[in-house]
Amino acid sequence: MKERIDIENIDGQLFEIKVVDPDNSKPASFTHYLHNHKNGVSQFYKKDALSYVKEILKKEYPTEKITNQIAEEALRYLIFDLNKSVPFPAPEKPKFKFIDLFAGIGGFRLAFQNLKGKCVFTSEWDKYSKQTYKANFGEIPFGDITKPETKNYIPDNFDVLCAGFPCQAFSIAGRRGGFEDTRGTLFFDVAEIIKKKQPKAIFLENVKGLRNHDKGKTLATILNVLREDLDYYVPEPQIINAKEFGVPQNRERIFIVGFHKDTGIKDFEYPKPTNKERVLEDVLEQNKVSVKYYLSTTYIDTLRKHKARHESKGNGFGYEIIPNDGTANAVVCGGMGRERNLVFDDRLTNFKPVTNISGKVNREGIRKMTPREWARLQGFPDNFKIVVSDAQAYKQFGNSVAVPAIQATAEKIIEKLSCK
């Protein structure tokens, strides 16, 4: 069992949070089996799925002999129950298959499912993201993608590989890096999967800073590996801003799209902006929000003093209150993520003094945005279930993608592959 400790910033205080990954592939195999019963892919997961069902049945009925036949029947029965309670089931008649790597809470999955894609494999090692993923898609992601055991569960013959992988430097001395120079990084794992599975298209997403990371060498290496070593057609990557695709969030990300040489595709256009009109007010909660989101007077004072100190030194670090007709800053999970997107909402404080866990609440109506508002900033619909603590939810939405920007690009990819 592996243990990972994350540091969370909650209201200016740092907390250690243990994120334990039990590294057990059986529950993931089980849900992947159920979700793929209509296509050949389920055979990849059958052995583990059966053994998992047997384990469960043995626990439930310790005195009974659980045979393979009984387990198979139970699996068939479970397939009936599938999709009953999840808000985002797989499309009924899928037109193409994709895999969702570094899946987080499934931003890519939502976008590709909206285009009638069937997700046939997903990997994410964070325990809490897996909970959100399961609650919304009914599927449990496999764990650590760097492990050969995890990679072995990836089926053949899917059309698109999606990955929003964390950015890491490669240790290349001078020359343009190739496949072997990326060994030990998460990009190497992505490249290895592409090499082995040869998907028709790939869609990678990363922070805008990837462009200048390590003086541009990181991106140059990624492109070199994709183009030269893996022989994909990869047009110039594009910086896409979420605010141009129907959400009021200034979030710039780099998108890298590529096509297998056998597709014959030699040109690609990233999507043009679809909707720049939405403003903060469009995503704010209609009802009064809980007092816990309001900042205490002491915290606001601290933020103001801090900002004044930094501004006098010439840098604009600090909190920011976004006007109702404005655009939010990018939601991010660390640092001052929440304080950079404060809003005015005096529906709570214009009556009488109120207190919350941090003390007396400010009378100006300054509050943090709620996790649901962050979900909306990322284009997640309101029936997307939030089943984790606020701290985890902020982290998950901050780490995720702006779904409409992903979907607009995915649509262009699918158009090119002609599997609409």
Ligand X SMILES: C[S@@+](CC[C@H](N)C(=O)[O-])C[C@H]1O[C@@H](n2cnc3c(N)ncnc32)[C@H](O)[C@@H]1O
Of the candidate spans 7-15, 119-127, 151-159, 263-271, the one that interacts with ligand X by CB under 6 A turns out to be 119-127
For ligand X, what does the binding mask look like between residues 361 and 400, x meaning CB under 6 A? Answer: --------------------------------------xx
Among 164, 237, 271, 371, binds ligand X (CB under 6 A): 164
Of the candidate spans 103-111, 241-249, 252-260, 348-356, the one that interacts with ligand X by CB under 6 A turns out to be 103-111
Report the C-alpha gap between 269 and 280 in whole angstroms. 29
Q: Output the residue with the shortest Cβ distance to ligand X.
A: 104
**DSSP code of residue 209:** G
Instruction: With CB under 6 A as the rule, give the number of residues binding ligand X.
Output: 21
Within 13 Å of residue 140, how many CA atoms lie on the same side as its CB?
A: 18
- Window 38-97: residues binding ligand X (CB under 6 A): none
Q: Which is nearer to ligand X, 102 or 232 (CB)?
A: 102
Residue 159, CA distances (Å) to 145, 200, 222, 246, 277 in order? 19, 5, 21, 27, 34
- Is 138 a binding residue for ligand X by CB under 6 A? The answer is no
Give CA angle at 238 (160, 157), nearest 5°: 10
Secondary structure element (H or E) that encloses residue 113, with its range: helix 107-114
- Is 166 a binding residue for ligand X by CB under 6 A? The answer is yes
Report the C-alpha gap between 416 and 420 in whole angstroms. 9
Within 13 Å of residue 128, how many CA atoms lie on the same side as its CB?
A: 19
**Token pair belonging to 311:** 């501004």
- Is 102 a binding residue for ligand X by CB under 6 A? The answer is yes
3-state secondary structure of 37: coil
How is 215-230 classified by DSSP, letter by letter?
GGHHHHHHHHIIIIIS
Among 124, 159, 244, 339, binds ligand X (CB under 6 A): 124
- Is 192 a binding residue for ligand X by CB under 6 A? The answer is no
Contact 216, 379 (CB under 8 A): no
Which one from 119, 162, 167, 333 is the annotated catalytic residue? 167
Is 333 assigned a catalytic role? no
- List, in order, residues 6 or more apart from 48 with CB less than 8 Å away: 25, 26, 29, 30, 33
- Output the smallest distance, CB 162 to ligand X, in A: 8
- Is 104 a binding residue for ligand X by CB under 6 A? The answer is yes
Of the candidate spans 35-43, 64-72, 138-146, 238-246, the one that interacts with ligand X by CB under 6 A turns out to be 138-146
- Output the smallest distance, CB 16 to ligand X, in A: 17
Among 129, 221, 362, 370, binds ligand X (CB under 6 A): 129
Q: Which is nearer to ligand X, 129 or 221 (CB)?
A: 129
First to last CA, the chain: 42
- Is 123 a binding residue for ligand X by CB under 6 A? The answer is yes
How is 190-202 classified by DSSP, letter by letter?
HHHHHHHH--SEE
Among 39, 51, 131, 146, binds ligand X (CB under 6 A): 146
Residues that bind ligand X (CB under 6 A): 102-108, 123-126, 129, 144-146, 164, 166, 186, 399-401
Active site residues: 167
